[in-house]
Amino acid sequence: MNQDWVRWHEAYDDPASSLSARLAFVQAHLSDALTTAPPGPLRLLSLCAGQGNDVFGVLPGHPRRDDVTAVLVEYDSHNAAVAADRARNARLTDVEVRQADAGLPANYADALPADVLLLCGIFGNVSNDDVRRTVLAATAMCVPGATVIWTRHRFAPDLTPQLRAWFTEAGFAEIAFAELPAAPLAGVGVARWPGSAQPNAPGSLPHGRLFTFRGAG
């Protein structure tokens, strides 16, 4: 069954929804990541960005907004158009919304490596093998000290413990993890890449596909 990703966003309008709780946690840590990043230009990359709620709830009013160059990658044409309108309305001229398949690194290779990498709304919709492949690839997508923010539901079987372990095994340092109690159960993780972005990093970007969406989840 195909997910309606436009209607899916309607849950953000409900303050009691799990999406709203997840969004608040993601936005708080995105704000912290921008605040604590070293002075100078910052690159932000959001994959499967939807309508850009994660970014546009933070960046327009953030003190570092003029330091940030962002690329938001979203496959759905309507959601991408909404995100692009939000960027224009906020006068964020250095925020680019790309209607493209985020599963293909070639679609955003020019935006790498990133200081902040958002992997939100992905891991609950792809296979476990794709999740692990994406975690490993993230090591080659980050500058030293970069922050990665990721999300995944905790329906049984709960993959979040294994996901956290995969990030650790790949060399990331966990900064935070939240088990959000609203239903459906949601997990949000924050990790930092202490290594270096280089061609022989553990998860060097593959030439092919990182992940394929398989429907609702």
- 39-43, 168-172, 199-203, 212-216: range with lowest mean pLDDT: 199-203
pLDDT at 211: 95
**Chain segment 34-62, per-residue pLDDT in tens:** 999 999 999 999 999 999 999 999 999 99
pLDDT at 185: 76
30: left (phi over 0), alpha (psi -120 to 50) or beta: alpha
Structure tokens belonging to residue 86: 């939000």
Residue, of 179 and 181, whose pLDDT is higher: 179
**Chain segment 74-133, per-residue pLDDT in tens:** 999 999 999 999 999 999 999 999 999 999 999 999 999 999 999 999 999 999 999 999
The domain locations on the chain are: 5-193
In this structure, whether the domain defined by 5-193 belongs to CATH 3.40.50.150 is answered with yes
Taking the CB of residue 16, how many other CB atoms lie within 10 A of it? 9
pLDDT at 128: 96
Q: What percent of the chain has pLDDT over 70?
A: 82
pLDDT at 18 exceeding the cut of 70: no
User: What is the enclosing helix (H) or strand (E) of 77?
Assistant: helix 77-89
**Chain segment 181-197, per-residue pLDDT in tens:** 654 678 999 999 997 65
The residue behind tokens 């891991």 is: 123
pLDDT at 89: 97
Please choose, from the candidates 36, 33, 53, the residue with its C-alpha nearest in 3D space to the C-alpha of residue 44: 33
Q: How confident is the model at residue 21 (pLDDT cuts 50, 70, 90)?
A: confident
C-beta separation of 145 from 192 below 8 A: yes
Structure tokens belonging to residue 83: 């995100």
